Amino acid sequence: MKTNNVAANAQIDHLVVAADSLSEGLRWCQNILGIMPEPGGAHTLFGTHNLLVRLRSATHPLAYLEIIAIDPSVRPTRDRSLARWFDLDVPSIRQKLRQDGPQLVHWVARVPNITVAVAAWHALGIDRGQIIEASRPSPRGLLRWKITVRDDGQRLFGGALPTLIEWGEEHPALSMAEPVLALQSLRLQHPQAQELQTALATIGLDTLPVTIGSPGLFVELAHDVAPAIFLSHLEPT
């Protein structure tokens, strides 16, 4: 059900792997993905920083994987009453990251007009959050983007409903090295599978498989010289 042609041109922008620390995220990337991630940057609004891995995909040509962690040395410039993005302030998630190590928790969809996409979801009764503007330096110049972040930081649908992003003139993948990992598939799961599928179709991602079950994400990555890598996340029910 594509309700708006402007909204219905979304692509997978990036996968979000959360870590208790960026050093743990680096080790995870080397041990699990078998590659060295690239430096990302700092997000002063949220007091987080990241590492990046570009992914090869004919359907989603600018896709990448982000490893993100709270930077304990930085106080977020965002109002202290507001939560960090991706549920990074949730105690149970932070505890799980400390105990089990880095893990896939979410994904982000790129849209050509974030205002229209947010409005389309509002019409479905989905509050994806405020549209905020952010930026950080990059090798190709200042990266600017608009992104949806709820005041409570929630991902929604257990992480299966994407955060929405609209990039400015530059996209971070354009300055990354050629990918050695291919994004083979992203499958989503949720008890309200039909509602999730309708929301995705509204922004043009109706080809992504959605199944009924506990909230979760399932990713397959193909390596050039190694067996396939499977990443998954299931929310506790």
pLDDT per position as a tens digit, 146-175:
999 999 999 999 999 999 999 998 899 999
Structure tokens at 184: 């083979």
Q: Report all structural domains of the chain as residue ranges with CATH numbers, in order of start.
A: 11-234 (3.10.180.10)
For the whole model, what pTM was predicted?
0.95
According to DSSP, the β-strands at 11-19 and 64-70 are parallel
Which backbone phi and psi does 10 adopt, to 5 degrees?
A: -75, 155
Name beta bridge partners: 217: 188, 233
Report in angstroms the alpha-carbon separations of 201 from 11, 59, 210. Answer: 11, 16, 11
pLDDT per position as a tens digit, 83-118:
999 999 999 999 999 999 999 999 999 999 999 999
Question: pLDDT value at position 237?
Answer: 66
Task: State yes or no: pLDDT of 3 exceeds 50.
Answer: no
Question: pLDDT value at position 5?
Answer: 53
Q: What is the largest CA-CA distance in the chain?
A: 47
Cβ–Cβ under 8 Å, residues 47 and 79? no
Cα separation, 146 vs 186, whole angstroms: 23
- For the chain, what is the mean pLDDT? 93
Question: pLDDT value at position 187?
Answer: 98
